[in-house]
Structure 1
Amino acid sequence: MSAFVGLSAGLAAVTLKNITYSIQVSLEEGIVFSQNQLYFILPIVGLLLVYLIKKYMFRKEMSPSVPPYIKRAVPSLLYSLLRQKGLLSYKLIYHPLILAPLTIGFGGSVGLLGPAITSGSAISSNLSRLMHIDKKTRTLLIACATAGAIASMFKSPIAAIVFAVEVFSLDLTFVSLLPLLIASISSVLTSYFFLGDEVLFNFTLTDKFTINDTAFYIILGLVTGIASIYFTKIYFAIYAFFDRFKTKFIKLLVGGSSIGVMLYFIPPLYGEGLSFTRDLFDGNHLHALGSNLFDDYLDNIWVVIVLLIGFTIFKVIAMTTTFAAGGVGGVIVPTMVMGSALGNVVAKVINNIGFGHQVSESNFTLIGMAGLIAGVIHAPLTAIFLIAEITGGYELFLPLMITVAISYMITKNYMEHTIYTKELAERGNLLTHDKDHNVLTSMNIDSVIEQDFIKLQPEMSLGDMLHKGVSKSNRNLFPVINQDNILVGIILLDDIRSIMFDQSLYESTSVETFMHIPPGFIDYEKDSMRIVMQKFQDTNAWNLPVIKNGKYYGFVSKSKLLTAYRRELINFT
């Protein structure tokens, strides 16, 4: 099954590439390189087509079960694995194959990897449903599809496996490693069969790493770390700005127009931008920058540096604007392209600042990509192996590790979560490598709430309590509520055990005399299962009342909570 999933994910990636390339070629021959240079109007056309297809063709087919705050492919998969047992609509197999090429082929500044992952994951999810496979195995198959999509897209099987382990929080065991390996191999072979043996970037190592360059790679790590923070901040800020618009059509108009303006001044922002990075590897920054308003000044290296910095700044803006305006695409490829520009800038500054140091611009271009990937998605091992594999740059492993480690440490300490995980974590829907956290996150509080408790009123006499409550209950705990169903206290059987047979007190004492405040409360709307477990630990109680909308709702017992916890733990181990 993992081989079949890898093959399917590879075919999805190849299909995406070919459709997108065909659209780009047809547009380049007709418009982009014409004398009128009308390419800046294309993004709004592409976004309009995506909008119309979503509205009139897919309006009943887009998955309604994913919350609206989840806007990207990987976060939606993480949410599905946690809350929906990894069950995805079969229609997600072909949605990305139509919408992503229209977005990117018409100039949307996003990547193809996210749609390839979505399509491949939908294939594996529906295959597992057809074969009646359990949730745990389904999760592994979806991870196999993700690995297959990456392996096919970049011809990087090792990085694909590492990405699946890092992002999907899989245990690196033989049980998980072998299917991931098989899926990656079958997907890479699919890519080789259809696309040949060319790697994504033709990188040739001309300058080997020397110990004297260490300080400069440390600087590159610092720069990419800061840029990763900027990337994440801008990403969420632009989404927040577009959330102010009430309709998707207004978002389309604003977003499409904004992208067109950016393309007019910075043409390399068009599409994924892989050709831009290839030109930087070849040392041809003039071709990378394309024709722009500053052509007469490009003989000045500092003008080139400023333009490259401008590209770095606006790449993430163009990418997020494409997403927010309704486009479909991925994040990793734009991150790589932005990182390549950043690395090239750092190298050019070092070489031209006048201190007499010379570093390899192509090496810095390469390693800048890894530094930004590690910082943006918090996947340092993926960054190292991905860049090494797609460029064949294994001889630069040491500077790769230096830059990636520094970039990752800076961003991880400043921002705990990434653009993939932040919104999920804020709402308690994030899976991590912490198994205790995963178990508590996946548990539903409704499954442990018990409501078969006999309610008492404060004014009831001891006799009434014994006859109407204790004698009819198999519980040793009784909630005391008022007329508005508000919990005012609890009574334990131990509280009345010593006087419950003293009939002289049956009419002279009331429930209010014996009740007391519980050691803690569980807020149904606010408390996650992690907080619930912590409250039991802090109070040392065996039962805690649940309050919903300010009123009594039931109890959670420690025994039932631990039983449910153990049952769920088995699913994660």
Structure 2
Amino acid sequence: MLKNCTHIIQSALKSDIISIQTSFYFILPIIGLLLVHFISKYIFKREVEHAISSILSSLSRKNGLIKQVKIYFPLITAPITVGFGGSVGLLGPAVASGAALSSSISTLFHVNSKNRVLFIGCAAAGAIAAVFKSPLAGLVFAVEVFSLDLTLASLLPLLLASVSSIITSYFFLGDEVLFRFEVIEKFDIMDTPFYIILGIATAIASIYFTKMYFIIQRFFNRFSTALQKLVIGGIAIGIMLYFIPPLYGEGLGFINNLLRGDHLTALGKTPFDEHINNIWIVIALIAGITVFKAIAMTTTLAAGGNGGIFIPTMVMGSALGTVVSKIINNLGIGFQVSEANFTLLGMAGLIAGVLHAPLTSIFLIAEITTSYELFVPLMITTAISFIISKNKIEHTIYTQELAEKGHLLTHDKDQTVLTLMNLEGCIETNFITVQPDHTLKHLLSEAVAKSNRNIFPVIDSSNVLIGIVSLNTIREIMFDNSLYHTTTVDMLMTPVITYIDYEQDNANSAMRKFQDTGAWNLPVIKNEKYYGFISKSKLLTAYRRKLINFTR
């Protein structure tokens, strides 16, 4: 549906029915973004979300529960975004739609939260496998990106999802594939230094890609209204499309032309056509795509478009691989490398660096080429790209925001269990509160005598926590009648230094606070008001139960 809807829109815009010259392509992104904006605001009444990030957030904070509207929301808004020239991919929306469908099915059959995560992983594996006809890449992508445990219990469903999606793809599309390429030039040990150079180049490009994404997102966050973002983003995309036509849409045709060695068709009609016979001008133009694809993609998303980053990453990588190979071949140093092979290796390097998914990139390119001839170069390039980029930028575009909030699921079981835990079930609210002007007699008769607790929160008239009275503190004076009316609670309480913020803290940060303070009970603040207490024993018990359920 995504592919065909996008194709219909693009064909209509290029046909005689809607006759728009290439020079006027700059107006199309604004129209597309306007359509997405009105559909999102007035029909679906929801904002466009980043596909993979929103799925990861649902897994960590909502036990994998995704609203049904997300099944068809991407199927409508993503083709409009890409069809009208938005420089994003369709793979992310495909995964998002499939994940929402999987979540709905799991809810229908009352599947537990652990298996619901596997359902959503199967949707991701199926989407990758169907788009690229690469079952192993789909399986590995689900494991790397969604932090699934690769056990026999998860391996079989993932394989079945990948295989069934490929069969479905063949049923509707035949043997049509995104990239049709056969490796002709084999691995040459003498080219190893160039693979290392490409690995370093893709690592630098990956770091640039990620940093540029967050820089542009922060820039657009300055605008107060969605229409401001839309107009500014649409104009920026249109200008880039005018000078660099290959930035239009996903860019799959650009990759295929590079793989065929047809760089003139890949570049299309540009304002620099009179200089196109100069190979260094060609290299500069392709390098421009490497630089501006990240800008065009992020601008499209920040302006309100719907799409993914996987395909744009591949486009940028293919351009970079071609640039590196052409520079090597035209420097006059006596070396000739395969430009098509470097185009593929560049894609793999960017996927490994930007998405931190080296295994996905290796198996994807191997399956695209239906050959393992490039396995050694792939391992060299992706390993270098991943190591450098991971060392420089710990989290990906998908995971950065979740990691900052402490909501990121990882392959670390302890960390994942803490992330999945809900603090609400650990909070105890049956503590008797007192006020600072209450006397010792009131404290003893109305709180101590009626409670089985040994701590008493002190609140003011606005229910703001200002201190805590411990039974150990008053034990020595609680039977001294002479102090009953002269001693007040504010003279006995201790100030609150450490507390758990209901909105900001999670189980992981709460556990860290217990460890740092050595406390056995910590107060919980909700909306700046006193809410209750969490005890270390309650938290550890909840952790143990969650761990048992998670590892079954």
**Match of residue 345 from structure 2:** 367
Say which of 6, 28, 31 aligns to 1:42: 28
Query: What is the identity, as a one-letter code, of the residue corresponding to 2:326?
Result: K
- Which range moves more in the overlay, 440-449 or 112-121? 440-449
The alpha-carbon distance between structure 1 residues 564 and 261, as it changes in their structure 2 partners (threshold 3 A), is same
Aligned residue for 2:179? Answer: 201
Secondary structure of 1:395's counterpart equals: coil
Q: How does 1:302-313 map to 2 (within 5 A)?
A: 302-313=280-291
> In 1, Cα distance between the equivalents of 2:94 and 2:111?
23
TM-score normalised to the size of structure 1? 0.89
Structure 1 distance, partners of 2:301, 2:17, is 24
What is the alpha-carbon distance in structure 2 between the residues aligned to residue 86 and residue 27 of structure 1?
A: 38
Q: Does 1:231 pair with 2:231? A: no
1:557 maps onto 2:540 in alignment: no
The alignment status of 1:412 with 2:390, answered yes or no, reads: yes
1:199-224 alpha-carbon deviations (Å, 9 max, x no partner): 32122222211222111111111111
Does residue 1:86 correspond to 2:72, yes or no?
no
Q: Of the candidates 403, 408, 423, which is equivalent to residue 381 of structure 2?
A: 403
1:254 to 219, 232, 247: 232
Q: Which amino acid aligns with 2:522?
A: L
Structure 1's 568 and 400: CA in aligned 2 closer, same or farther, altered over 3 A?
A: same
SS in 2 for 1:302: helix
2:32 aligned with 1:54: no
Question: 1:293 maps to what in 2?
Answer: 271
Aligned counterpart in structure 2 of residue 455 of structure 1, from 424, 428, 433? 433
Report the Cα distance in structure 2 between the residues aligned to 1:33 and 1:390, rounded to whole angstroms: 36
Taking structure 1 as reference, are residues 448 and 197 closer, same or farther at Cα in structure 2, changes over 3 Å only? same
Deviations 1:221-246 (A, max 9, x none): 11111111111111122222222333
Q: 1:98 to 1:526 in 2, by over 3 A?
A: closer
Q: Does 1:148 align with 2:126?
A: yes
Indicate the residue corresponding to 2:295 in structure 1: 317
Q: Determine whether 1:340 maps to 2:326.
A: no
Q: Deviations over 1:420-445 (max 9, x none)?
A: 11122222332222222222223333
CA deviation profile, 1:366-414 (whole Å, cap 9, x unmatched): 0000100111111111111112212224211111111111111111111
Residue 277, structure 1, aligned to residue 255, structure 2: yes
CA distance in 1, matches of 2:269, 2:462: 73
What letter is aligned with 2:11?
A: V
State the alpha-carbon separation in 1 of the partners of residues 333 and 477 from structure 2: 91
| TM-fit CA distance, 1:32 | 9.5
The aligned counterpart of 1:530 is 508
Distance 1:247 1:453, change over 3 A: closer
The yes-or-no answer on 1:18 pairing with 2:4 is yes
2:362 counterpart (361, 384, 388): 384
Tell me, which stretches of 5 or more residues in structure 2 are unaligned? none
Instruction: Give 1:89's aligned amino acid.
Output: K
In the alignment, what sits opposite 2:15? 29
Report the Cα offset of residue 498 of structure 1.
5.3
Give the partner amino acid of 1:52.
F
Instruction: Identify the residue that residue 129 of structure 1 maps to in structure 2.
Output: 107
Q: Compare 491-500 and 207-216 and name the one that shifted more.
A: 491-500
SS of equivalent to 1:30: coil
In the TM superposition, residue 288 of structure 1 has moved relative to its aligned partner by: 1.0
Find the aligned partners of 2:313 and 2:519 in 1 and give their Cα distance: 50
What amino acid is the match of 1:554?
Answer: G
CA distance in 2, matches of 1:509, 1:253: 66
Whichever residue aligns with residue 355 of structure 2, its letter is I
Structure 1 pair 36–416 and aligned structure 2 pair: CA distance change class (3 A) = closer
> Do the aligned residues in 1 keep the contact of 2:183 with 2:369 (CA within 8 Å)?
no
Partner of 1:475: 453
Q: Residue 374 of structure 2: SS of its match in structure 1?
A: helix
Relative to structure 1, the CA distance from residue 481 to residue 48 in structure 2 (aligned partners, 3 Å threshold; closer, same or farther) is closer
**Does the alignment pair 1:543 with 2:521?**
yes
Partner of 1:440: 418
Deviation larger for 245-254 or 282-291: 245-254
Task: Return closer, same or farther for 1:369/1:420 CA change in 2, 3 Å cut-off.
Answer: same
Is contact 1:31-1:37 (8 Å) kept?
Answer: no
> Secondary structure of 1:355's match?
coil
Written as runs of structure 1 = structure 2, the 5 A alignment for 1:448-527 is 448-457=426-435, 462-481=440-459, 487=465, 489-497=467-475, 500-501=478-479, 515-516=493-494, 520-527=498-505
Q: Distance in 2 between matches of 1:91 and 1:488?
A: 44
- Displacement after TM superposition at 1:75 (Å): 0.7
- Counterpart AA for 1:190: T
Aligned to 1:425: 403
Point out the more displaced range, 503-512 or 340-349.
503-512
Once superposed, which parts of structure 1, at least 4 consecutive aligned residues long, lie more than 6 Å away?
31-36
Q: Would you say the 8 A contact 2:314–2:350 is kept in 1?
A: yes
The separation in 2 between residues aligned to 1:35 and 1:463, in whole angstroms, is 87
* TM value normalised by structure 2: 0.92
Among the aligned pairs, what percent are the same residue?
64
Aligned partners of 1:32 and 1:38 also within 8 Å: no
| One-letter identity of the residue aligned with 1:155 | K
- Tell me: CA distance 1:475–1:285, structure 2 relative to 1, closer, same or farther (3 Å): same
Q: Is the Cα–Cα contact under 8 Å of residues 519 and 544 in structure 1 kept in the other structure?
A: no
Question: Which residue number in structure 2 is paired with residue 240 of structure 1?
Answer: 218
Question: Is 521-530 or 329-338 further displaced after alignment?
Answer: 521-530
What do you get for the CA RMSD once the two structures are aligned? 2.6
Aligned to 1:95: 73
Count residues in correspondence: 551
Shift of 1:251: 2.6
Structure-1 separation of matches of 2:490 and 2:39: 65
Aligned partner of 2:422: which letter?
N
Greater mean alpha carbon deviation, residues 107-116 or residues 240-249: 240-249
- Aligned equivalents of 2:528, 2:100: Cα separation in 1: 41
Distance 1:106 1:434, change over 3 A: same
Q: Partners of 1:419 and 1:448 in 2: how far apart?
A: 32
